[in-house]
């Protein structure tokens, strides 16, 4: 006899004991959130051991219940219903009955299931979205930015005072150190890697051609652009996105200040102006890096190096580098502001915008590099 009664009880960790007697479960004490997960687990396990289908949950001894408790009762009822049991609740004092009514979950309709999207629809909407929202939006923003950039060029009044210089420092001056260092290292490595091959052919002097032409026409603009896309593209996107989610952009508009003119155009000016200088610095330090490698590995003295450099340098490369600098600078500012303006949904959106701005910015720079490389071949 004793053995049977012990096995019939459901005992929770905190000591609460629910008596299971003749298909009736007597609840007592409190059925609140902290004990609910355990309650559900043990009750479901316990009742499923029984054979017959009808069950009663008696609430007479229950002192208190909260929303989690009520939903758990209905949850148990539903789960047992699926397993072929029938559960009924009875009793309970006034407050318990009131709360049962208040928190009863069944009055909510299930939401209709989402329509399944087919493969062709997915591809179709993807392509359509790309053209309507990305491609068209990008072109539109570019048109707006360049319109304001050109229109404001000689109208000092509409420009934000001091902002151009401020941005030139942020985008250009502050990037000098990293640009110089990176291009020096790359020039050095470029020369080092080729030194052995050139020596095999006895073509030591051609290291100068390689480094000078390689840096000037290809490496220096590309390295600078990638560094600036990482530094400034991200910060432009983050700044504009944050301004948008905190309605600062709306505030600017209602003060009669066009956000593109006020925020983006100074950045565009600053990067268009500073990028050529950064590329020049990258060239100088990249070639210097190559020179160092040439001196130590191929015994080419600085004198010979500089002499040969004068023969190798082409004016065309200077023009190419300048055109590239302008294209890259525009692309970086454009992608940064494009993703900044597109931000949705607060903090997480700002992060997504910033990431996209950098990734797409760098990709566009590389694509543009290959196109320009073909054009100026």
Partner 1 sequence: MDKEKVIEVRNLAASFGDTVVLSDVSFSAYKGEVTIILGSSGSGKSTLLKHILGLYETEKGEIRIFGEDALGLDEDQQLHMYMRMGVFYQNGALLNSMTVGENVALPLKQHTSLPDDLVDDIVNIKLGLVNLEYAINKFPSELSGGMLKRAALARAIALDPPILFFDEPGAGLDPISLESLDRLIIDLKEQLGMSIVMVTHEVPSILRIANRIIYLDKGSVVFEGTLKEALKCDVESVRQFFSLLDDVDKAKQA
Question: Site residues (CB under 8 A) for partner 1?
Answer: 32-33, 36-37, 40, 66-68, 71-72, 74-75, 98-99, 102-103, 105, 107-108, 111, 245, 344-349
Residues in Cβ contact with 51 at an 8 Å cutoff, skipping those fewer than 6 apart: none
Residue whose CB is less far from partner 1, 111 or 375 = 111
Q: Closest separation between CB of residue 53 and partner 1, Å?
A: 22
Strand (E) or helix (H) holding 328: helix 315-341
Residues found in the chain: 377
Q: Closest separation between CB of residue 91 and partner 1, Å?
A: 20
Residue whose CB is less far from partner 1, 116 or 155 = 116
Residue whose CB is less far from partner 1, 158 or 344 = 344
Q: Closest separation between CB of residue 32 and partner 1, Å?
A: 7
Q: Closest separation between CB of residue 89 and partner 1, Å?
A: 16
Residue whose CB is less far from partner 1, 246 or 363 = 246
Q: Closest separation between CB of residue 78 and partner 1, Å?
A: 8
What is the C-alpha separation between 94 and 252, in angstroms, rounded? 58
Residue whose CB is less far from partner 1, 79 or 159 = 79
In the block, residue with structure tokens 């316990």: 46
- Which residues make beta-bridge pairs with 56? 24, 88
Contact yes or no for 25/54 (Cβ under 8 A): no
Strand (E) or helix (H) holding 355: helix 346-375
Cα dihedral value 67, 68, 73, 78, nearest 10: 110
Residue whose CB is less far from partner 1, 77 or 308 = 77
Residue whose CB is less far from partner 1, 105 or 302 = 105
Q: Closest separation between CB of residue 348 and partner 1, Å?
A: 4
Phi, psi of 155 (to 5 degrees): -105, 90
Contact yes or no for 349/247 (Cβ under 8 A): no
Q: Closest separation between CB of residue 64 and partner 1, Å?
A: 9
Measured at the alpha carbon of residue 171, what is the angle toward residues 328 and 249, in degrees to the nearest 5?
A: 95
Chain centroid to CA 328: 22
């Amino acid at each position: 006899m004793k053995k049977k009664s012990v096995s019939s009880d459901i005992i929770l960790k905190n000591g609460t004991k629910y008596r299971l007697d003749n298909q009736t479960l007597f609840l007592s004490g409190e059925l609140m959130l902290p004990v609910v997960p355990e309650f559900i687990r043990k009750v479901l396990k316990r009742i499923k051991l029984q054979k017959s289908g009808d069950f009663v949950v008696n609430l007479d001894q229950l002192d208190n219940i909260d929303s989690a408790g009520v939903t758990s009762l209905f949850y148990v009822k539903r789960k047992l219903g699926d397993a072929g049991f029938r559960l009924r609740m009875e009793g309970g004092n006034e407050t318990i009955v009131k709360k049962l009514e208040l928190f009863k979950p069944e009055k909510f309709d299930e939401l209709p299931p989402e329509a399944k999207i087919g493969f062709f629809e997915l591809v179709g909407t993807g392509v359509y979205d790309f053209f309507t929202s990305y491609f068209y939006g990008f072109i539109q923003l570019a048109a707006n930015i360049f319109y304001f950039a050109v229109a404001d060029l000689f109208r000092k009044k509409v420009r934000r005072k001091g902002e151009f210089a401020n941005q030139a420092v942020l985008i250009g001056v502050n990037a000098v150190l990293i640009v110089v260092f990176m291009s020096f290292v790359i020039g050095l490595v470029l020369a080092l890697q080729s030194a052995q091959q050139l020596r095999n052919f006895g073509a030591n002097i051609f290291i100068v051609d390689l480094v000078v032409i390689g840096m000037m026409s290809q490496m220096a603009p590309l390295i600078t652009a990638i560094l600036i896309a990482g530094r400034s593209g991200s910060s432009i996107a983050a700044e504009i996105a944050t301004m948008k989610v905190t309605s600062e952009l709306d505030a600017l508009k209602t003060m009669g200040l066009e956000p593109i003119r006020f925020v983006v155009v100074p950045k565009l000016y600053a990067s268009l102006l500073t990028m050529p200088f950064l590329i020049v610095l990258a060239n100088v330090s990249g070639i210097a890096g190559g020179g160092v490698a040439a001196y130590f590995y191929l015994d080419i003295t600085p004198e010979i190096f500089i002499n040969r450099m004068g023969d190798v340098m082409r004016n065309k490369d200077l023009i190419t580098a300048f055109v590239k600098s302008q294209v890259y600078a525009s692309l970086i500012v454009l992608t940064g502001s494009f993703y900044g303006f597109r931000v949705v949904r607060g903090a997480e959106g700002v992060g997504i915008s910033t990431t996209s701005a950098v990734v797409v910015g760098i990709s566009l720079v590389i694509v543009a590099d290959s196109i320009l490389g073909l054009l100026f071949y």
